[in-house]
A and B are shown apart, each in its own frame.
Chain A
Amino acid sequence: GNSVTQMEGPVTLSEEAFLTINCTYTATGYPSLFWYVQYPGEGLQLLLKATKADDKGSNKGFEATYRKETTSFHLEKGSVQVSDSAVYFCALRWSNTGKLIFGQGTTLQVKP
C-alpha cells in the first residue's frame, strides 16, 4: 500500500547548522508530496509542496526536491534557527479523493 517513512527523531542541532530530514515514500502512480510543520500545541501548517518529479518546493529557507528515481522528498535547510524547533511531517496525496498519508513526524530541536 501507499506509505511515507521519515527518519526518526528527535533531531538536535545547534543554531546555524545544516538540516536534513529524510522522507521516502511508497505509492502507485504519481503522488503529490508535502512537508507540514507543527509548532507546539498548534495545528499543522503547510511548509512546501511538489506535484511532479524533479519539482523543488521551497519556503522560508526550507527546500525539498521530488525524486521519483529514489522515491524521496528530503527536507533541507542551510542554516536553522531556534524558531525552527517543531515537528515536521512528510505527506503524500495519491488519489483524487484528496486524502493525505502522513509519515510519523520528526521532532527538530534547535539549541542556541
Chain B
Amino acid sequence: DGGITQSPKYLFRKEGQNVTLSCEQNLNHDAMYWYRQDPGQGLRLIYYSQIVNDFQKGDIAEGYSVSREKKESFPLTVTSAQKNPTAFYLCASSTAAGQRTYEQYFGPGTRLTVT
C-alpha cells in the first residue's frame, strides 16, 4: 500500500541533544512538508521541499534543519537550538505544487518529548 511512514511514533530526548525524525513516502510525490502541532493549535509549517536537493523554510524554521537527498525521504532534525521542541510532528507529501487540484497526504506523526 502507498503511503507515508514516520518513525518512531514516540521519541524521548534529553535537552541539548539533536534528534532526527524520519519521513518516508512511496507515493512518488515530488513535494514534502514538515509541520509542527501544539495542543489547541493548528499546524505550523517548518520546512518544505518541492523537489530533490531543494527545500525552503516555512513559518517556524528556526532550530530545525532538513535534507532532501532522495525523492522518497525528507528527514527533519530538531536541534538543541529549538527552544520548545516538545510537540507532535507531522510529515506530508503531495504531487508537484502548482497543480490546482493536488492535495497533501499526511503521515501518522511522531510525538517528541524533550526533558
Contact = CB atoms under 8 A, between A and B. Distances in A.
Asked if chains A and B come from one complex, the reply is: yes
B74 to A, nearest CB: 14
Interface string B31-49: 1010000001111110010
B63 interface: no
A100 B45 contact: yes
A96 B106 CA distance: 19
Interface of B: 4, 6, 31, 33, 40-45, 48, 50, 56, 58, 90, 92, 94, 97-98, 100-109
B37 to A, nearest CB: 9
A102 interface: yes
Contacts of A97: 48, 50, 56, 97
Interface residues of A, number: 22
Contact of B98 (A34, A98, A102): A98
Interface in A61-112: 89, 96-100, 102-105
